[in-house]
Amino acid sequence: MQVFRTSAIWLVVAGCACASQVTLDVELAGPQLVRATLRGHQDLGAERLELYRSTTDLSAVGIDTVAFPVTVLGFSGEPGEARLADSMVAHNVTYHYRALVVRRNGEETWSSVDSVSIPDVELGRITGSSLLIDKLHYFLEVRDGGMMKKRYPVALGSKPRNRKLHMDRASTPEGFYRITNEQPDATFHKAFDIDYPNEVDRCRYNLHRELDLLPERHGDVPLIGGEIQIHGEGIERNWTFGCIALRNRDMDELFEHDRVGKGMPVYIVGSEVTRAGLRSVMDYRTDAEMRRFQRKLKEAGLYEGEPDGIIGSGTRRALGLFQRRNGLPMTCDFDAPTVRLLRAQ
């Protein structure tokens, strides 16, 4: 086991040192595994424990999880000791960790910051390549046949948890896309263009507009937007207009690889399109099952036309209406909660 720095931290409540010591120990336990342990928190009457992780400094009092690329993790473990195994990290980057103890009376106590460096790995040879962007854990993962090859830290826009619905210069899309163009000399160093908006994005936008659910600006509804990129110029804060930002050296490495570029699949997961939801959307479904779903949507008065097993705009619109009726996010797609509900009816 390679151990970097371990810190014993006195926590302070209301300006006074606590009677007992609370320690946060962070260590690198493998090539891509960080272990964090918090002890002594029960002596504070802890009600909730959280661990904050970021590629930016977390020493300020109160952590801005919107302006900066911050992931919030939850502890688990035996009474009196909270443990966390964090494998959702990128390569070749230093992470800063900080614990929050929320007491039963509502008072919050922060630990000081502990840091750990994740070693670099070679991207190496790739055959069946794709990109997975995880908005919650702030990394871009290069995959080979579904297996992770390397991860790069990223930053997003000023609404990092939102799934893009319309032009807002803040939100990043979620779902399945492809790289449509390469820009070796882009506004922000280098860039890959992705094909937002796709068919699902247009269905979601049109349905929200039809139902008067889009926000008005000076009497007009916003356009659907576009020009979403993976580009460079840094990860210090969430600064983009909804694009995915990397460090320049990471963009250089991706551009130099002969299997990364135009035509490559890009999967983006986040708060609405989760990893499980994306797997559900990508699952193969027989023509017979698709027809059954369409018949159920037709019986509910949501689908117009004859069941044909084809996922077209009419089916997607009906799915969105079905989701709205049942209190689900209007993804206009066969995500896991929607499929479970359709099968149950």
Q: What are the tens digits of pLDDT across the range 319-345?
A: 999 999 999 999 999 999 999 999 998
What sections of 188-312 are H helices per DSSP? 199-210, 248-256, 275-282, 287-299
The stretch 149-169 carries a mean pLDDT of 97
CA dihedral 61, 65, 70, 73 (to 10 degrees): 90
Question: 113-127: string of b/e by CB count within 10 Å (b at 16+)?
Answer: bbebebeeeebeebe
- Residue 13 pLDDT greater than 80, yes or no: no
- Residue 60 pLDDT greater than 80, yes or no: no
Strand-strand pairing, 129-134 and 265-269:
parallel
The two three-digit tokens of residue 190, written as one number = 């280098």
Confidence class for position 17, pLDDT limits 50, 70, 90: very low
117-151: pLDDT as tens digits: 999 999 999 988 999 999 999 999 999 988 999 99
Which pTM value belongs to this model? Answer: 0.91
233-284: pLDDT as tens digits: 999 999 999 999 999 999 999 999 999 999 999 999 999 999 998 999 999 8
The stretch 25-45 carries a mean pLDDT of 87
What pLDDT, on the 0 to 100 scale, is given for residue 108? 85
The stretch 157-184 carries a mean pLDDT of 97
What pLDDT, on the 0 to 100 scale, is given for residue 78? 55
The stretch 304-331 carries a mean pLDDT of 95
Domains and CATH numbers, the chain: 12-118 (2.60.40.10), 129-273 (2.40.440.10), 280-344 (1.10.101)
Confidence class for position 214, pLDDT limits 50, 70, 90: very high
Assess contact for 159 and 173: CB atoms under 8 A: no
Longest CA span, the chain: 72
Residue 79, classed as helix, strand or coil, is coil
- Residue 50 pLDDT greater than 80, yes or no: yes
Report the alpha-carbon angle 332-333-338, nearest 5.
100
218 vs 192, which has greater pLDDT?
192
CA atoms within 13 A on the CB side of 268: 29
The stretch 167-192 carries a mean pLDDT of 97
- Residue 69 pLDDT greater than 80, yes or no: yes
Across all residues in the chain, what is the average pLDDT?
Answer: 90
